[in-house]
Structure 1
Amino acid sequence: MLEDEKYDLMRIIQIKFPRLSKGQKLIAEYILKHYDKAAFMTAARLGVSVGVSESTVVRFANELGFSGYPKLQKALHELIKNKLTTVQRIELSNTFISEESSLKGVLKADMENIRVTLEKINHNVFDDVINSIFSAKRIYIIGLRSSTALAEFLGFYLNLILDNVYVVSYKISDIFEQIINITSDDLLIGIGFPRYASRTIEALRFAKSRKTKVVALTDSLLSPLATEADYTLIAQSNMASFVDSLVAPMSVINALIVSVGLREKDRISNVFTDLENIWKEYKVYSSRSTEDKF
C-alpha cells in the first residue's frame, strides 16, 4: 500500500467492502465504527471481538493491500493518533489497562517505545543535530502542552553546558515575541507529540521563514513538526492512555545532553565544580543522607 493511502484507510475499506467475505465484512464494519479501539487490538483480539478467526483478520489486512496485520494496525495508529480526544483516551485506558495491571502494562509499553526508538532513530541525523547545536549562534527550544517538561529539561542541562540556550514557553510575552530576532545563524529545536500543539508547529514554520535551521523531536516523519524541520529525531510515544508516553523522547534528550557534554568535558568540569561550591554554600541540596535516619 502506498504511504499516502493510509490517510484514506476508511475510504479504501468502503470501496473494497462489496468484495469482502462474510467474516471480513464483520471486521470492516467493526473498524469503521470503532477504529479507535481496533488500533490497539491484536489480530487475535480483534477476531474474538467480531466473532472470526485470527487468520481471517490477517486475510482481511491482505485484502486491503497490506503485507500483514501489523501494517494495517500501524495505518490505524496513524489515522487516530492526532484525533483522539482525552475522553476517548480515558475510555481506551479502561478497556486495555486494568487497575491491577496498570503498573506492568505501562512499564512494558514504555520499554517497547524505547526499543522501537532505538531501531528507528537515524544515527547520522543525531550526529548532524549535535553539530548544528555547536555551530548555532543561539539555540531556541520549544515544546508546549505535555512537551513543556521535555523542553524545560533539555534547556536546563544545555544551559549548564552552553551559554546561548533559550527556552521558548508561555509567558507574559507571546512565543513569537520570544523568537522575533531569530536568524539563519540560529537553531530552533521543536518538541511535539500527538496531539501536536498548533503553536509549536507555527513557531517552526516562522523559524523556517527566517532561514533558521530547525530540528524536530517527534514521533514520525509524517508528523506536522517533521514537515517543517531540516533534521528529525524520531522517538516512539504510543500509549493507549490519556497520559502521553514521553519516556522514549526523554531518553533521546538524555542522549543529546550527554553527547553535547562529551564535547565540552573541560567546561562541564569547571561549571560543576563551581556549582558544587555554590550548592554547598547556599544549602541547595540536603546534606542529610539516608544513613542519618537510622
Structure 2
Amino acid sequence: MSPLLKIRAERDQMSAIERRIADFLLDNAHLLRDYSSQQLANALGISQSSVVKFSQKLGFKGYPDLKYSIGEAVARGGNNDDGETVAASHDNPHTVLAENLWHLKAQAEAETRLINPPEAIDAIAAAITQAGKVFIIGLGEDGIPARAFATRLSMLGILTVHYVDAILMQAGVSAAAPGDVLLVFSEHGRQAALCQISRLFRERVGKVISVTRHTPNPLRAHADASLLVSAHDERRYIEPLLYQSALQHLLDLIFVLSCEASESRRSQLDVNFERMRDLLDT
C-alpha cells in the first residue's frame, strides 16, 4: 500500500501537527530525499520527535523507512500515487481533462476503500438485508444519493422508509422496532436535527448507520456503524464531484453484497425489473 495513499486516507483523523507533516509530505514527496528528519522538523517548526512519532504511527520503524517508501512510490510514477494528475499524451484538451478527472475519482475511491475495512462493510450490508425496515434520510444534496439508494433497496424487496424532511422522519421513527436500521446521509455530519433523529432511533433499539466524510463529526458519535468517504481537492468545484463519485462506488458495493447474499433478493429484483419494463411498455 502506498504510504502517500495511506497518509491521504488518514489525514482527517490526525492531530494539527500531524496534518502539517502530512501536507508537507504530500506536497513535496519528490523532494523528500533531500530532507533528514531534523531538516523536516526545522522546516515545519516542530520537534524531531514529532516527525519520528508520525512515521511510527503510519507503521514504519522510523522516518528513514517512511522516506524510502515514499521515494519508491514516487519512482514508480506509473501508479500516480504521488497525487499528481495524469499527464495525458493526447492533444485534445477534453481528453486530458477527462483522464485527469478520472484519475482523481479513482484516487478518492481507493482512499475510501482503505478507510472502510471489509469486515465493517460486510456487517453493514448484513444489517441492511436482515433489517425489518430500513429508514433512510438525507437533507439537501445528501438527499440525492439517499433517495437513489432507497430505491435500489426497495427493488430488492427490502422494506424501505425514505424521508427528505427531518420533521417527518422524527414522526416516522415512532414506528421503528428492534432490528430496524436507520441510514443517515450527511456529508459533514453536523446537522443537529439528524443527530437528534439518530439518538431517538437508537433509543428504540434500532441500529444507526451514518454516511459522512472521514472526519470527526457529531453524527458519527450517534451511530452504531459508519460508512466513510475520503475525497479531497483544493478546487471547490472538483471536490464535491470526487465525494459523490467515491460515495456512489461505496453504495454500489453495499448493493452488490446485498444482492449476492440472497438468491431470493436477486429473484425479487428480477421480478421488479420486469414489472417496471411492462409499465414502461404500456
Q: TM-score range by the shorter chain?
A: 0.5 to 0.7
Give the secondary structure class of the aligned counterpart of 2:136.
Answer: strand
Of the three residues 210, 230, 240, the one matched with 1:216 is 210
* Residue-pair matches, total: 225
Give the Å deviation of 1:188.
0.5
User: SS in structure 2 opposite 1:189?
Assistant: strand
Choose which of 16, 28, 44 in structure 2 pairs with 1:44: 28
**Cα pair distance change 1:219/1:132, threshold 3 Å:** same
CA contact (8 A) 2:157 2:269 kept: no
Where structure 2 has 5 or more consecutive residues not aligned to the other structure, the ranges are 1-10, 59-83, 86-92
C-alpha separation between the residues in 2 aligned to 1:105 and 1:170? 37
1:275 equivalent in structure 2: 276
> For residues 94-138 of structure 1, what are the alpha-carbon distances to aligned partners after superposition, in whole Å with 9 as ceiling and x for unaligned?
xx99x9986555433221111122222221222222221232221
Calculate the TM-score normalised by the size of structure 1.
Answer: 0.62
| Distance verdict in 2 for CA 1:112–1:204, change over 3 Å | same
Partners of 2:189 and 2:131 in 1: how far apart?
A: 29
2:256: which partner in 1?
A: 258
Greater radius of gyration (CA):
1
> 1-side partners of 2:162 and 2:23: how far apart?
35
CA contact (8 A) 2:109 2:245 kept: yes
Tell me which residue corresponds to 2:81: none
On the 8 A contact 1:144/1:197 being kept in 2, the answer is no
TM-score (norm 2): 0.64
What pairs up with 1:19-168 in 2 under 5 angstroms?
39=23, 42-44=26-28, 56-57=39-40, 60=44, 62-65=48-51, 66-68=53-55, 103=98, 105-168=100-163
133-142 vs 105-114, which deviates more?
Answer: 105-114
CA distance in 1, matches of 2:108, 2:256: 20
CA distance in 2 between partners of 1:198 and 1:257 (Å): 28
SS at match of 1:233: strand
Aligned to 1:285: none
For 1:186, which of 158, 180, 189 is the aligned residue? Answer: 180
- Superimposed CA distance per residue, residues 223-251 of structure 1 (whole angstroms, 9 cap, x where no aligned partner): 43332222222332323233522211111
Distance 1:241 1:154 in 2: 28
Match of 1:232 among 218, 222, 226: 226
Residue aligning to 1:81: none
Q: CA deviation at 1:154?
A: 0.3
Q: Specify whether residues 207 and 237 from structure 1 end up closer, same or farther in structure 2 by C-alpha distance, changes over 3 A only.
A: farther
Instruction: Tell whether the 8 Å contact from 2:13 to 2:215 is kept in structure 1 after alignment.
Output: no
- The amino acid that maps onto 2:281 is K
Indicate the SS of the match to 1:225. Answer: helix
Q: CA deviation at 1:40?
A: 8.6
Aligned mates of 1:54, 1:111 — CA distance in 2? 30
- The code of the aligned residue for 2:268 comes to R
CA distance in structure 1 between the partners assigned to 2:148 and 2:219 by the alignment: 20
CA distance in 1, matches of 2:201, 2:158: 21
